[in-house]
Structures are given as structure tokens and as C-alpha cells.
Amino acid sequence: MNLKGETAVVCGAGGFIGGHLVKSLLEKGVNVVRAVDVKPLDEWYQVTPGVESLALDLKDKDACYKAAKGVKLVYQLAADMGGMGFIENNRALCMLSVLTNTHMLVAARDSGVERFFYSSSACVYNGDKQKDAHVTPLKEEDAYPALPEDGYGWEKLFSERMCRHFEEDFGLQCRVMYIDDCTKGTQAIMESEIHEPINLGSSELVTINQLVDIAEDIAGVKLERRYNLSAPKGVNGRNSDNTKIQQYLGWEPSIKLRDGLARTYAWIEKEMHALVSA
């Protein structure tokens, strides 16, 4: 299905991925009429000219109806999330994201939305399969039997089930993704006929020490490493089995970690030099 010319709202548009998704959709010809995030506009990563940008709390049902009004596509990326420390110390707050997903699904159904994209999380996966740093790549079916991350993961898994049943009971076509990266994959999944949760992430497995090794090499520096093993850390290992997305789309995320880090480092360095010379 080609979504060019269709009207869309991006929820969670003030975040890093959401902001880039808005621009990418516009470049592909999708008419993003509205971008929504709970944060004030001056705290968004980027605001796109020509798009109605609204600061709305989507846990509120009326705000969800305002977000979904007059669009055919909903990209639901909005969630209370702030890294593993946030997840482990704010389990009830993470669970309250179920209000956002419930109200957005109801608003989408009542507003005549045709397709609903839900960004889930790798935190839905069974924790027993992620106890070793060198894990077997996670397949979509590894989400069951259910033993997700407490709080955040349970909410995400429950919301996946809601998407499934809204499609079965009300005909709202839903696309569910375990997101790590990639606006290209988001668009491809939304346009596809994939009716089940699917991984969109890297198949690379890397330890934190290996990540530091790569960063040191790119920057040409050597860092002193100090370890705080009492800090929140989440699972010991995780990477994506991309068999299913290859079967459906003939594609998987292809940018290697080192290449992405090199591009990111170069961009940050450029921005820092610009600040110094300003």
C-alpha cells in the first residue's frame, strides 16, 4: 500500500525518532497535518514548519480525539520513557502509558482512522532469554510465555494485545513494531500487510565495553573506565533476530553500529565547533 498523499498525525513527535519520522514522512509524500507531544514546543528535538504542532497530554481522552481528528494514519510513538533508570524507578508511571494507547486506539476507531502504527519495545521480551551478555537473537515469538520488563514491558505487551483486538473487533488496521531505530522501517511496516508484531532493530550484538572501544577509536582517544555495577542496567544482552522482517519486506536495518556512531560523532563535533565560533 502506497500511503503517499494520506493524512497523518505523529504522536510523540517531540522525541528524537518522532521528530525525524515527521520529516521523513513529509519527504515521502505523506501529508503530516499534525505533530503531538506532551512536552512544551521549546523542548522538542525539532519542530517542522507547516505542520500543526501541539503540546497535548495524550493520557487525556479529549486530547486523543483532538490528535486523531481528520487523519487517516496514526503513528503512536508517545510514551512515558526515560531510560533504564527511569523504568526501574517509575514502574507505575510507565504503566500509565496504557491510558495513552487505550485512548488513542478509541479515538482512532471513532474518528475513522484507517491505519494505526504502534511503537512497542524490546522490553516486552521474556527476561529469562536475556540473562547472558551473549544472547541468542530474539525472535518475535520470544515475547511469550510472557515475562517482560516489570512495569514498562508489561504495559507495552498489554497495548500490543489491544492493537490486535482492535483490528479483530473493529477493523482498525494496526501495525506493531519493537522499535530500536529507523524511520525507513517504520514507513515500510505501515505500508505493508504485516498484521503481527515485528522486530525493527539491529542484529548486531555488542557489549558496553565494545561500544566504548568503538567510540574511542572514532574519537582517537583512550578513556579511563569506571564501573558502577549498582546502577540500573536492565538485561545483560539483547539483539534482534531479523528473519521475519526479511521475509516480509526483503529488508532489514543495514547501518552498522560503527558507521552510525561515526556519523553521530562527526555531527556532534561540528555542532560543538559551531558553538565555540559563534
Active-site annotation, residues? 152
With b for 16 or more beta-carbon neighbours within 10 A and e for fewer, the 99-115 pattern comes to bbbbbbbbbbbebebbb
Instruction: Using CA atoms of 108, 174, 251, 140 in order, give the dihedral in degrees to the nearest 10.
Output: 130
For 8, 82, 219, 247, the CA distances from 199, given in Å and listed in that order, are: 23, 21, 31, 12
For residue 173, what is the enclosing H or E element? strand 173-179
Which 3 state secondary structure label does DSSP give 202?
Answer: coil
Which 3 state secondary structure label does DSSP give 115?
Answer: strand
Q: Helices 152-170 and 97-110: crossing angle, nearest 10°?
A: 10
- What whole-number distance in Å separates Cα of residue 178 and Cα of residue 189? 11
- What whole-number distance in Å separates Cα of residue 44 and Cα of residue 58? 16
Nearest 5°: phi and psi at 179?
A: -90, 135
**Inter-residue contact 119 to 77 (CB < 8 Å):** yes
For the chain, helix (H) and strand (E) counts, in that order, are 10, 7
- What whole-number distance in Å separates Cα of residue 138 and Cα of residue 161? 19
